[in-house]
């Protein structure tokens, strides 16, 4: 539940926005949403004209990992 979610870290709003944009354009495979790949990140950076720092890429990939984990349910 969002009411139980931890407070959003200050200063990461732009990075969260980047993740949401990537998330909204993610592909699908035969079983559901596909992970955000390095190729996706590379294409997004070129299209947007930005260069993410390695730690920012790590954060986006970690958020994606959390999203994918949430799809698997609580039994994992």
Whether 72 is in a domain gets the answer yes
Q: Structural domain of residue 64, as residue ranges? A: 37-76
Please write down the long-range contacts of 33-41, taking CB distance under 8 Å and 24 or more positions apart.
33/67, 33/68, 33/71, 35/64, 35/68, 36/60, 36/61, 36/64
Position 23 scores a pLDDT of 94
Is residue 60 over pLDDT 60? yes
pLDDT average, residue stretch 4-11 = 76
Q: What is the pTM of this model?
A: 0.80
Work out the angle at residue 52's Cα, subtended by the Cα atoms of residues 62 and 70, and round it to the nearest 5 degrees: 20
Residue 59 lies in a domain: yes
Place of tokens 């539940």: 1
Count up the domains in the chain and report the number: 1
Q: Is 27 among the domain residues?
A: no
């Amino acid at each position: 539940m969002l009411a139980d979610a931890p407070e959003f870290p200050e200063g990461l709003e732009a990075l969260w926005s980047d993740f949401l944009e990537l998330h909204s354009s993610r592909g699908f495979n035969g079983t559901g949403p596909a992970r955000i790949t390095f190729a996706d990140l590379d294409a997004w950076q070129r299209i947007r004209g930005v260069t993410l720092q390695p730690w920012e890429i790590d954060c986006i990939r970690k958020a994606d990992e959390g999203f994918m984990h949430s799809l698997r349910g609580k039994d994992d």
